[in-house]
Amino acid sequence: MDRIFIRDLLTRCIIGVNEEERREKQDVVIGIELFADLAKPCASDKFEDAIDYRALKKLIIAMVEASECFLIEALAERIAEVCLATPGVEEVRVTVEKPAALRYAKSVGVDITRRR
Protein backbone atom coordinates (compact mmCIF):
# COMPACT_ATOMS: atom_id res chain seq x y z
CA MET A 1 0.00 0.00 0.00
CA ASP A 2 1.28 3.47 -0.86
CA ARG A 3 1.43 6.26 1.69
CA ILE A 4 0.70 9.99 1.90
CA PHE A 5 1.78 11.73 5.08
CA ILE A 6 1.07 15.03 6.81
CA ARG A 7 3.54 15.77 9.58
CA ASP A 8 3.40 18.20 12.50
CA LEU A 9 0.02 19.74 11.72
CA LEU A 10 -0.38 22.30 14.51
CA THR A 11 -3.83 23.32 15.63
CA ARG A 12 -5.63 24.28 18.84
CA CYS A 13 -8.63 22.89 20.67
CA ILE A 14 -10.21 22.32 24.05
CA ILE A 15 -8.68 19.05 25.25
CA GLY A 16 -8.16 17.55 28.68
CA VAL A 17 -9.90 16.38 31.80
CA ASN A 18 -8.86 19.07 34.26
CA GLU A 19 -10.92 22.21 34.77
CA GLU A 20 -8.05 24.51 33.80
CA GLU A 21 -7.50 22.54 30.56
CA ARG A 22 -11.13 23.12 29.55
CA ARG A 23 -10.98 26.93 29.83
CA GLU A 24 -8.71 27.73 26.88
CA LYS A 25 -7.67 26.06 23.68
CA GLN A 26 -4.37 24.20 23.79
CA ASP A 27 -1.90 23.26 21.08
CA VAL A 28 -2.12 19.80 19.59
CA VAL A 29 0.29 18.42 17.02
CA ILE A 30 -1.12 15.92 14.55
CA GLY A 31 0.59 13.43 12.28
CA ILE A 32 -1.33 11.54 9.62
CA GLU A 33 -0.36 8.69 7.33
CA LEU A 34 -2.90 7.79 4.65
CA PHE A 35 -2.55 4.39 3.00
CA ALA A 36 -4.01 4.02 -0.49
CA ASP A 37 -3.30 2.65 -3.94
CA LEU A 38 -1.60 5.58 -5.70
CA ALA A 39 -0.85 3.74 -8.95
CA LYS A 40 -3.49 5.62 -10.96
CA PRO A 41 -2.38 9.18 -10.04
CA CYS A 42 1.26 8.10 -10.41
CA ALA A 43 0.58 6.96 -13.97
CA SER A 44 -1.87 9.67 -15.05
CA ASP A 45 -0.33 12.70 -13.32
CA LYS A 46 -3.90 14.05 -12.99
CA PHE A 47 -5.17 15.79 -9.88
CA GLU A 48 -8.62 14.24 -10.22
CA ASP A 49 -7.06 10.78 -9.80
CA ALA A 50 -5.30 11.77 -6.57
CA ILE A 51 -6.38 12.08 -2.95
CA ASP A 52 -6.89 15.77 -2.21
CA TYR A 53 -4.85 16.01 0.98
CA ARG A 54 -5.22 19.80 1.09
CA ALA A 55 -9.02 19.48 1.33
CA LEU A 56 -8.59 16.70 3.91
CA LYS A 57 -6.28 18.91 5.98
CA LYS A 58 -8.93 21.66 6.02
CA LEU A 59 -11.61 19.18 7.18
CA ILE A 60 -9.35 17.91 9.96
CA ILE A 61 -8.44 21.40 11.19
CA ALA A 62 -12.10 22.49 11.23
CA MET A 63 -13.14 19.35 13.13
CA VAL A 64 -10.29 19.58 15.66
CA GLU A 65 -10.76 23.30 16.34
CA ALA A 66 -14.48 22.73 17.01
CA SER A 67 -13.91 19.65 19.18
CA GLU A 68 -13.95 19.53 22.96
CA CYS A 69 -12.69 16.01 23.68
CA PHE A 70 -11.51 15.01 27.11
CA LEU A 71 -8.95 12.51 25.80
CA ILE A 72 -6.41 12.71 22.98
CA GLU A 73 -7.39 9.10 22.24
CA ALA A 74 -10.92 10.24 21.35
CA LEU A 75 -9.58 13.09 19.23
CA ALA A 76 -7.31 10.69 17.33
CA GLU A 77 -10.29 8.41 16.65
CA ARG A 78 -12.34 11.31 15.26
CA ILE A 79 -9.46 12.33 12.99
CA ALA A 80 -9.16 8.74 11.74
CA GLU A 81 -12.89 8.70 10.95
CA VAL A 82 -12.55 11.88 8.84
CA CYS A 83 -9.62 10.35 6.96
CA LEU A 84 -11.36 7.04 6.29
CA ALA A 85 -14.38 8.91 4.89
CA THR A 86 -12.09 10.17 2.11
CA PRO A 87 -12.46 8.13 -1.10
CA GLY A 88 -9.41 5.98 -1.79
CA VAL A 89 -8.08 5.92 1.77
CA GLU A 90 -7.99 2.31 2.97
CA GLU A 91 -6.02 2.74 6.20
CA VAL A 92 -4.86 5.62 8.36
CA ARG A 93 -2.35 6.08 11.11
CA VAL A 94 -2.99 9.10 13.34
CA THR A 95 -0.67 10.57 15.94
CA VAL A 96 -1.94 13.26 18.31
CA GLU A 97 0.48 14.98 20.65
CA LYS A 98 -0.26 17.40 23.44
CA PRO A 99 2.98 19.34 24.02
CA ALA A 100 1.98 21.00 27.30
CA ALA A 101 0.54 17.91 29.00
CA LEU A 102 3.46 16.79 31.13
CA ARG A 103 5.94 18.92 32.99
CA TYR A 104 9.55 18.12 32.00
CA ALA A 105 8.41 16.28 28.85
CA LYS A 106 8.52 17.75 25.37
CA SER A 107 5.23 16.08 24.51
CA VAL A 108 2.85 13.22 25.22
CA GLY A 109 0.69 11.54 22.61
CA VAL A 110 -1.15 8.60 21.16
CA ASP A 111 -0.73 6.74 17.91
CA ILE A 112 -3.62 4.75 16.41
CA THR A 113 -4.15 2.81 13.19
CA ARG A 114 -7.59 2.23 11.67
CA ARG A 115 -8.74 0.42 8.51
CA ARG A 116 -11.90 0.44 6.43
Give the model confidence (pLDDT) of 21-79 as tens digits.
Answer: 999 999 999 999 999 999 999 999 999 999 999 999 999 999 999 999 999 999 999 99
Residue 39 has what pLDDT? 98
Catalytic, out of 40, 46, 98, 106: 98
The pLDDT value recorded for residue 3 is 98
pLDDT for the residue 78: 98
pLDDT the model gives residue 100: 83
Nearest to 99 by CA among 17, 5, 34, 15: 15
Q: What is the mean pLDDT of residues 1-26?
A: 96
* Domain edges within the chain: 2-115
Where would I find the H helices in the chain? Answer: 39-44, 53-66, 72-84
Active site residue 106: no
Please give the DSSP secondary-structure letter assigned to residue 102: S
CATH class of 2-115: alpha beta
